[in-house]
Chains A and B, each alone.
Chain A
Amino acid sequence: MIIYGVALLSACLLAGLFIGELLGQLLGVQANVGGVGIAMLLLVLASGSDHFKPLMTGASGSGIHFWSGMYIPIVVAMAASQNVVAAVGGGMLALLAGVAAVVVSFALVPVLSRIGPQSEPLPPLNAPTTSNSKAGA
């Protein structure tokens, strides 16, 4: 049943957000600390467990696949509901602060990626993308 997969996904998100809220309160922070990340971990753990196998394969699994396929359209809708006017109109200071933070952070990606065990580049996608680099991390 497709709904079983969707329900499992929902349960993971709710449980993760709940733990994230509790973590935030524990730390005295007005924010959810890692709720979505925790939810993803729960889903990964569930997919590795035999108990949840029936909820992840066949029709149930397609309930989860459907939503991961909807991810990019959701991101497009998200982009279309951003406050772009405020970003552009925030003045030179806001513009520079935002851009500079990104540029410096981009530059640090290859530096930090050298730490620890390395992972292999993903095989190229069928559709041509800009990410198909031959350079390692």
Chain B
Amino acid sequence: MMETLRTVITANGLITAFAVVGITVWLSYVMSKYLTAGRIHGSAIAIILGLAAAYWAGMVTGGSRGVADIGLLAGIGLMGGGMMRDFGIVSTAFGVHLSELKKAGMVGVISIFAGVVVSFVVGGLIAVAFGYTDAESITTIGAGAVTYIVGPVTGTAIGASSEVIAISVAAGVVKSIVVMIGTPMVAKYIGLNNPQSAMVFGGLMGTTSGVAGGLAATDPRLVPYGAMTATFYTGIGCLMGPSILYFIVRAIA
């Protein structure tokens, strides 16, 4: 009988994911209401539970895809994968006003470039502080602080060592997780309560997963504005990392 149940669950992965995530979200809202008196939003708790589960699953399975590496929960990988994430993000644009986008258009573009450069410089400086002196390693780790996609793309393009590329990916993953958890905590202090600051926020942070999760846990109505700029960030980062940013580092190092 257990065997039959197991077969049904694995054969219907996506449906299992809907059920499991639904229970998780419900549990999170109950916890939000009774344990935190509504101070921490239910979706923030749900995201943290998800990350904790991913950590536990990674330790148990040794895999890289969180709970999706557990056979019974493989459907969560599909539900939370890039395809569904992007589909969900685009749907949030329904009801967005073009006028708000236009108003913050210019500052949104500025924030994307500022975000890439600032994260790159911070990551690069920390690499230097840890004793890296070659331009390839500094650039790659700086690019990892941009996003976990820009890091390896840059590292591969300029020929960094695989160890450094692994560090750059880890830095990018840390960034996206810190944005997911940290955004609802700091939103109040950085004025993240209107479409314009959300667009600036998306452009500065850039990690699509981090921005998607962080804004969802803060105020879902801000998601489309932040996501709009964030989705340009990785592309711009991949453009600047192996080219202009690398050349500048090489000139200095």
| Chain A residues in the interface with B (C-beta under 8 A) | 9-10, 12-13, 16-17, 20, 23-24, 27-37, 39-41, 43-45, 47-48, 56, 61, 64-65, 67-68, 70-102, 104-110, 112-113, 115-122, 125, 127-133, 135-137
Contacts and interface: CB of A to CB of B under 8 A. Distances in A.
A91 B130 CA distance: 11
Contacts of B80: 74-81
A24 B111 CA distance: 20
A16 B212 CA distance: 18
Contacts of A88: 55
Given A106-B182, A108-B204, A125 B219 contact: yes
B241 to A, nearest CB: 9
Interface stretch (B2-10, B60-68, B245-253): B60-68
Contacts of B182: 102, 106
Given A98-B175, A100-B126, A129-B41, A119 B196 contact: yes
Contacts of A132: 193
B21 A77 contact: yes
Contact of B175 (A64, A67, A71, A102): A102
Given A67-B88, A74-B80, A109-B200, A83 B41 contact: no
27 contacts: A16-B90, A24-B235, A28-B239, A29-B238, A31-B235, A40-B93, A43-B90, A43-B94, A72-B216, A75-B212, A75-B213, A80-B66, A82-B50, A82-B173, A86-B170, A94-B167, A98-B170, A98-B177, A100-B122, A102-B179, A113-B107, A115-B106, A119-B100, A128-B41, A131-B184, A135-B193, A137-B193
